[in-house]
Amino acid sequence: EETVSKNFIEQEIDKDLAEGVYTEVCTRFPPEPNGYLHIGHAKSILLNSGLAKEYGGTFHLRFDDTNPMKEDMEFVESIKEDVQWLGADYKDHLYFASNYFDTMYECAVKLIKKGKAYVCDLSADEIREYRGTLTEPGKNSPYRDRSVEENLDLFERMKNGEFEDGTKVLRAKIDMASPNINMRDPVIYRVAHMTHHNTGDKWCIYPMYDFAHPIEDAVEHITHSICTLEFEDHRPLYDWVVKECEFDPAPRQIEFSKLYLTNVVTGKRYIKKLVQDGIVDGWDDPRLVSIAALRRRGFTPESLKMFIELCGVSKSQSSVDYAMLEYCIREDLKLKRPRMMAVLDPIKLVIDNYPEGEVEYLEADNNLENPELGKRQIPFCKELYIERDDFMIEPPKKYFRLFPGNEVRLMNAYFVTCTSYETDEDGNVTVVHATYDPETKCGTGFTGRKVKGTIHWVAAPYAKQAEIRLYENLVDEEKGVYNKEDGSLNLNPHSLEIRKNCYVEDSFAEAKGCDSFQFVRNGYFCIDSKDSTPENLVFNRIVSLKSSFKL
Ligand code: ATP
Ligand code: MG
Ligand code: MG
């Protein structure tokens, strides 16, 4: 068995368990319900739930809904769906941070009583001014030395709605000269006369993230609070809140670097604009990397897990090539999915020596590399469809497909020799004619002669017409994702190509949204969960078959 070296977070957890800091492991994924989750969140979800599983611990899904301004409950359901789909099992450990508002208020009162927090009347601009800079220490607020009694009274009146938004805040009393600006008496509560989706009008003061988050973790007995690197500078404040509020055992924050992908749009702000401007078809447009979009595109939870594992966990910032994600879905589907024939750009092939009106059923392996997927019967008859570019009137060198006089193998069927073709008045080929050799039937072991080309086909009267959507990156790789001058996106005008006149084998009667298949020579495709119906099949190309990507 292969021994995989542990990542730095696992090493820290091992150490904590060995030293008895904790006896079990509890992790969480704490999204703000203010948008759809994307591939970066998948990393956090799989990392946290994976650690809980590995250590026989518990994984929590907690909605960080302490900011009434930004949240929209529309997103709660989509986030739950995405987390479940990824296979992260939170069982009955679903929490809402807004349910801890009472505890947070009590913690604030405790800090005031300990002389560790005060009500400050400076405006937001003044607070910023007093805070100082990286090179200059801050100045104490003139309200810093208010008595405990006065602070308790003012804070209660803040809670009771006696003050306008922005006129008073509660601040932690730490150190205005700290080299870490986050420690210079940070604001921990503000007045905001807003209705909260969960607590209604009960509160008109709301806790700030840096105060709320450690309390949420501590209340839930989270042991390892794993977050991204931008919170590293906030860790001293996290630890301060836990300590001064006297939580025991204390949760421990550990930071890792965010996942970035090349050539894709991940910023929520940019995705929102693409949706609003109608450039993409909603948050689940298959060209996006929201989890909903990846699912609709045909990515599987297993492929995302493989991808996240390959990315690894570290503290160094780097971007991962999108081609690696494509590699993972190919690897996942390669043996799992049937290999069918579908013609994306059809032209008719007439087998002139095949009896009119006759049909025979030929046996084909569903997946040559995986016999467990069984076999199927494919109709064969006089009129077929083949790919337009599998025929040429005047072939270049090394073109082994159909041209007048040349013989090729029809996959799973017979050898056919091209005899002639028809054109319209503009010279476009409309029909290709051929004859077949009955002796060359697939499966009979015919060895009489060899051909160099094999092409796929479908039987014209039996095939189903389908719409197929081919995708490229949403952004122009050459120019880079963002325009250097104005920060706008460099969009690729060819990111979506719709082919309405494709033909697929008629064996999708049972298929439903997100089911995927290999279409031989053309790639992996899935049924579009939004637009496909049994009468009007719509497929998304997940990924083509070939890639220059190497592990
Ligand atoms: P975005 O800036 O894309 O909106 P966010 O950090 O604001 O993301 P949250 O809802 O706050 O979104 O994130 C929930 C969790 O997901 C946090 O713990 C956050 O650190 C983590 N997370 C967000 N983006 C990434 C990423 N690119 N890679 C890894 N983890 C991420
Ligand atoms: Mg956030
Ligand atoms: Mg956010």
Confidence at 477, pLDDT banded by 50, 70, 90: confident
Residue 46 lies in a domain: yes
pLDDT at 3: 59
- Could you count the other beta carbons within 10 Å of the beta carbon of residue 79? 22
Q: Is 47 in a helix, a strand, or coil?
A: helix
384-419 pLDDT tens trace: 999 999 999 999 999 999 999 999 999 999 999 999
Expressed in angstroms and rounded, the spacing between residue 7 Cα and the centre of ligand 3 is 26
pLDDT at 390: 98
Confidence at 478, pLDDT banded by 50, 70, 90: confident
Q: Tell the residue nearest (CA) to atom 7 of ligand 1.
A: 32
- Ligand nearest 64 Cα, by number? 1
**CATH number (domain holding residue 293):** 1.10.1160.10
Q: Tell the residue nearest (CA) to atom 9 of ligand 1.
A: 31
Q: Look up residue 399 and give its two tokens.
A: 């073109």
309-351 pLDDT tens trace: 999 999 998 889 999 999 999 999 999 999 999 999 999 999 9
Residue 242 lies in a domain: yes
CA distance 22 to 26: 10
In terms of C-beta density within 10 A (0-12 exposed, 13-18 middle, 19 or more buried), how is residue 234 classed?
buried
User: Is a pLDDT exceeding 90 seen at residue 28?
Assistant: yes
Atom of ligand 1 nearest to the CA of 33: 10
| Whether 247 and 268 share a structural domain | no
Name the domain count of the chain. 3
Q: What contacts 162, CB < 8 A, 6 or more positions away?
A: none
Q: Look up residue 432 and give its two tokens.
A: 């290709």
Range of the domain at 300: 260-334
pLDDT at 71: 67
Rg (CA), the chain: 31
CA distance 78 to 548: 35
- Ligand nearest 268 Cα, by number? 1
Q: Is 514 in a helix, a strand, or coil?
A: coil
Expressed in angstroms and rounded, the spacing between residue 231 Cα and the centre of ligand 2 is 10
Q: Look up residue 175 and give its two tokens.
A: 């150190």
pLDDT at 485: 84
How is the chain split among helix, strand and coil, in percent rounded to 5? Answer: 30, 25, 45
Q: Within a 13 Å sphere around the CA of 89, how many CA atoms are in the beta-carbon half?
A: 9
Pocket test for ligand 1, best of 86, 222, 228, 254 (most atoms within 8 A of CB): 228
When pLDDT is averaged across residues 120-139 and rounded to a whole number, the result is 96
The dihedral built from the CA positions of residue 328, 329, 330 and 335, taken in this order, carries a sign that is: positive
489-518 pLDDT tens trace: 889 999 999 999 999 998 876 778 889 999
User: Is a pLDDT exceeding 60 seen at residue 2?
Assistant: no
pLDDT at 74: 81
Residue 296 lies in a domain: yes
DSSP conformation class of 384: E
Q: Is 98 in a helix, a strand, or coil?
A: helix
Residue 532 lies in a domain: yes
Phi, psi of 222 (to 5 degrees): -65, 135
Last residue of a domain, one of 310, 334, 358: 334
Expressed in angstroms and rounded, the spacing between residue 332 Cα and the centre of ligand 1 is 26
Expressed in angstroms and rounded, the spacing between residue 158 Cα and the centre of ligand 2 is 26
Atom of ligand 1 nearest to the CA of 44: 30
pLDDT at 514: 82
CA distance 511 to 279: 29
Residue 317 lies in a domain: yes
| Whether 246 and 354 share a structural domain | no
The alpha carbon of residue 434 and the mean position of all alpha carbons in its chain are separated, in whole angstroms, by 47
Least confident span in 14-18, 40-44, 482-486, 523-527 = 482-486
**CATH number (domain holding residue 26):** 3.40.50.620
pLDDT at 224: 98
Residue 1 lies in a domain: no
Confidence at 258, pLDDT banded by 50, 70, 90: very high
Q: What is the mean pLDDT of the chain?
A: 95
CA distance 423 to 347: 11
Q: What contacts 498, CB < 8 A, 6 or more positions away?
A: 467, 468, 469, 470
Q: Residue 423: which H helix or E strand, with range?
A: strand 415-423
Q: What's this model's pTM, rounded to 2 decimal places?
A: 0.94
pLDDT at 428: 95
226 bridge partner residues? 254
Last residue of a domain, one of 304, 334, 364: 334
Q: Is the peptide bond before 31 cis (omega within 30 degrees of 0)?
A: no
Query: CB–CB of 189/208 below 8 Å?
Result: yes
Q: Within a 13 Å sphere around the CA of 133, how many CA atoms are in the beta-carbon half?
A: 2
Residues having CB within 6 Å of any atom of ligand 1: 30-32, 35, 40-41, 43-44, 227-228, 258-259, 268
Expressed in angstroms and rounded, the spacing between residue 168 Cα and the centre of ligand 1 is 30
pLDDT at 73: 79
Residue 550 lies in a domain: no
Q: Tell the residue nearest (CA) to atom 26 of ligand 1.
A: 40
Q: Look up residue 116 and give its two tokens.
A: 């560790």
